[in-house]
Amino acid sequence: MGTKYLAAAVQMVAADDKAANLAEAERWVREAARRGARLVALPEVFVWRGEKHREKEFAESLAGPTAAQMARLARELGIYLLAGSILEDIPLSGKAYNTSLLFAPSGDLLASYRKIHLFDVDLANGVSLRESGTREYGASVVAAKTELGTMGLTVCYDLRFPELYRSLAAQGAELIFVPSAFTAFTGQAHWEALLRARAIENQAYVIAPDQFGKSPKSFETHGHSMIVDPWGKVLAELADGPGIITAEIDLDYLAKVRAELPSLRHRRLS
């Protein structure tokens, strides 16, 4: 297992043009690989964001065209690729899962995670969201062992539920993804604090690619994509606009943090 490698997170804003979103995502993934990233992560629902009542229309199976394109891209570039999340079709249902996909450099699908916590809120700034109206709850905690370490999968609103992250740490997660389309209103108050807390509590790297700005037919998102180390230090951040951030993942450093402050071993409650 390589102890050091470069990871990247992509920041973009998706609209309801699936082809344009996929083209932009691929452009940034290629740029990240060109810069030497062995692991690249895209944000939540990077392939389509539009009117809620049309979500089912744009949902796909895990054998659909978006997954196939991401698999080809991972294989061509020889990278681990987190396809932030897509809307996964549920046959005979009016709803879809919000599903994150992790591909190996071979193009094989290593793991798929269906978002467990759905965002049903009425915010003070007037934004009202009911994810459960069009999406189904996931049920399984998912981590994948790779040559770059054990990777845990979460999505956006999951960030507010520390028990999920502790479950991932118990499965050996050394790096945890948080692909997001985090609302601007809540992000200003809580995004960085929550990301750093999840990294510190679980002594893991956190990679959080976020959408930014106002999607034409959806709510405004926070941006500020981040990569955070196991000590809670923000290694890279992109406040606004499209682009990529990169940071070195050092598994020897992670082991040092866990050895010197062995809080994961000192747990008394389960």
Catalytic residue among 44, 88, 131, 136: 44
Cα–chain center distance at 223? 13
Question: How far is the C-alpha of 16 from the C-alpha of 49, rounded, in Å?
Answer: 5
Catalytic residue (one of 24, 55, 115, 131): 115
For residue 151, what are the β-bridge partners?
144, 175
For residue 208, list its beta bridge partners.
226
Q: Which residues contact 89 (CB under 8 A, 6 or more apart)?
A: 56, 59, 60, 61, 64, 96
Is the backbone of residue 140 left (phi > 0), alpha (psi -120 to 50) or beta? beta
Spatial distance between the Cα atoms of 226 and 176, rounded to a whole number of angstroms: 12
Q: What six digits make up the tokens of 182?
A: 């985090």
- Rounded Cα gap, residues 181 and 179, in angstroms: 7
* Matching residue, tokens 């083209």: 23
H helices of 171-250, where? 184-202
Catalytic: 201? Answer: no
Active-site residue, from 156, 174, 220, 237: 156
214 noted as active-site residue = no
Whether 174 is catalytic: no
What residues are labeled active site?
Answer: 44, 115, 156
